[in-house]
Chain A
Amino acid sequence: MESFVPFIVIMLGAATPLIFAAIGELVTEKSGVLNLGVEGMMLMGAVSAFAVSITTGSTTLGLLAAIGAGVLMALLFGLLTLTLLANQVACGLALTIFGIGLSSFIGKDYVGKPLDALPSMDLGWLSDIPVLGPVLFSQDLMVYAAIAVVAAVAWFLYHTRAGLVLRAVGESHHAAHAIGYPVIRIRYMAVAFGGAMAGLGGAYLSLAYTPMWVEHMTAGRGWIALALVVFATWRPFRVLLGAWLFGGVTILQLHAQGAGIAVPSQLMSMLPYIATIVVLVLISRDATRIRMNAPASIGKVFHPER
């Protein structure tokens, strides 16, 4: 039990940027758009949040800047793929490469500058409860926010009319268009939400988790988030479980090493992807399960028929 509590605490932190980025991408994909630019959007979020926070001294403004930067990147992607009908896979990859370069350029002057970390919540006596206190009541605000966002998205997608429309657009854009829904506009909104969440995921890294800016500090977390969406078979709460699982496996491996067990750390870096492939293989055996969750129009270009 003694090492179990810090284990959970570290895991929650490690999972938070993944949860943000993955839940945003989930909404984007549910609308039928595949945006592979998550890594680039996260980096832009991270650098904007850091630059604005350190200049203005306000974390709130930093978070807003991260959302803004993520949305701008996502809208650029939307312009290319939704309005100009370019290939989504190619544009997504380009967005990542663009984000890596642009964030490095913007961040040049901010390398090596320290910033105070986001404070952890202190809920008085609640935080002092053994075991439950440190796990449930003494994280920083964004850890709770990430979980709240997942719940909100789950509610939105499956319990509101707008969510139903969004899913319909992702299933069959022609049918949705025929009924009269503005397919392109709905997809723009979904893509923008994906960008905002990716930006927040990046901001969590540069403001709370490791409060600093260094080039390419997301180090592949955007790709893990993409894998996570598939791993979760496009279900919001499974994203949460998946992120904790991926985070947990990483931390478990670090624990094993610290305890003197020789684990090849390279193998563990592969694990999220291996797990995703296994899940893909498993769900592919059962066609109905895929059909239920995977948006049927994902990645397809939409030409409205007149």
Chain B
Amino acid sequence: MKTKTWTLTRRAALSLAAGAMALSAAATMPGGAAVAQDDPLKVGFVYVGPVGDHGWTYQHDKGRQAVVEKFGDAVKTTYVESVPEGADAERVINQLAQSGHDLIFTTSFGFMNPTVKVAKRYPDVMFEHATGYKRADNVSTYAGRFYEGRYPIGVMAGRLTESDTIGYIAPFPIPEVVRGINAFTKGLHSVNPDASVKIIYVNSWYDPGKEREAAETLVAQGADILVQHTDSAAPMQLAEEKGLIAFGQASDMSQFGPNAQATAIVDDWSDYYIDRVQAVMDGTWESQDTWGGLNSGMVQLSDFGPKVPEDVAKEATQIVKDIESGDLVIFEGPIKDNAGEVRIAEGEAASEEDLLSMDWYIEGIDAQLPKN
């Protein structure tokens, strides 16, 4: 999902993993997966970033903590943080499997191939890979429909903007991000067709300085509301400084913008992790593909901020409910792209395929999508 350099932490992570392996290997050898009834279930987590990144990995680790809280002594969790996506990932996953972990969550897109590879070697160990698409009998995949959260914030932005200009700070022009922009714009234009969205790609998931520069530029161009798909709280801080409104990303950023944050799209993996651990305990675990939206609890909106009036909060809450119940389908035809071509025909809804490969802006976005 994200590529970063973690040169030193990787080494620390590897030696930790090796140490953990050496310790637990003595206890559980030989064999690995088959665990006697009263032994705790061993669950491993592989993270791409540090647990303190206050974003993607932070939220996964909160999921792990929820598992520990729910099952207590019945589970034993291990995590390895800051694992780079590549050869080291395979080693780390292999060590977890070898040291008797029964269920292993690998939480970044780039862990896909290593996970599938290790899973072949350990057919009795169950694997869960986040945001990928390769599955096997012992490999499930899961991801969140984060774009579902972007529709209601679009509606809120449409109600709250005074300059009718929204600034959108995006990382890369990939389908995941474009889908979010389109969902947001649909929500925005459903209540305020005159509002325009200005989009800036900063070419990074995470560069506070550049995110700030992008945010400042957008404000200079008249935006009074900032939306971000990048991970740092820099745009939120700027909104707070200038007395504007912003929407947080991945986790609740209200400590960086106590007045500015209207709400944040929060990734919450707790319920999913608890379910899957329970399934392993019950012996009902099966390989599956989960793409959970608002109704699964994987995607949530955090508490509304002080600048959100009662009626807007109510409206947003209702829209969340409608999306959860299926009464509101975000990408329902007819939908044209911004060149006027019909992309989703009348009476149809966007297929999974359409969503996963979305590389066009919807009608009403006055910008060209940079080709990736």
Contact = CB atoms under 8 A, between A and B. Distances in A.
Contact of B256 (A13, A97, A212, A260): A212
A260 B8 contact: no
Contacts of B50: 104, 108, 111, 215
B4 A216 contact: yes
Contacts of A97: 7-8
B209 A209 contact: yes
B109 to A, nearest CB: 19
Nearest to B234: A210
Interface residues on B, range: 35 or more
Contact of A251 (B207, B213, B371): B213
A210 B237 contact: yes
Nearest to B10: A101
A263 B202 CA distance: 11
Contacts of B209: 14, 17, 205, 209-210, 217-219, 221
Contact of A214 (B198, B208, B216, B217): B208
Interface string A100-116: 11101000110111100
A212 B200 contact: no
Nearest to B213: A14
Interface string B309-326: 000000000000000000
B237 to A, nearest CB: 6
B220 A6 contact: yes
Secondary structure class of chain A's binding surface, majority of residues: helix
A7 interface: yes
Contacts of B369: 262
Given A251-B217, A255-B221, A258-B200, A117 B241 contact: yes
A58 interface: no
A246 B214 CA distance: 15
B36 interface: no
A258 B167 contact: yes
A269 B221 CA distance: 22
A277 interface: no
B368 interface: yes
Contacts of A113: 255
B218 interface: yes
A205 B213 contact: no
B64 interface: no
Interface string A184-206: 00000000000000000000010
Nearest to B257: A114
B86 interface: no
Contact of A212 (B4, B9, B204, B234): B234
B338 to A, nearest CB: 10
Given A100-B7, A117-B241, A254-B214, A217 B208 contact: yes
Contact of A262 (B49, B213, B370): B370
8 contacts: A3-B220, A6-B220, A209-B212, A210-B232, A215-B50, A216-B4, A259-B198, A264-B371
Ranked 7 nearest A-B pairs via Cβ:
A101-B8, A6-B220, A262-B368, A260-B367, A112-B54, A265-B203, A111-B52
Given A10-B213, A114-B256, A255-B220, 13 more contacts: A3-B221, A14-B213, A17-B209, A101-B12, A117-B237, A210-B211, A212-B232, A212-B237, A214-B54, A259-B198, A260-B368, A262-B371, A269-B203
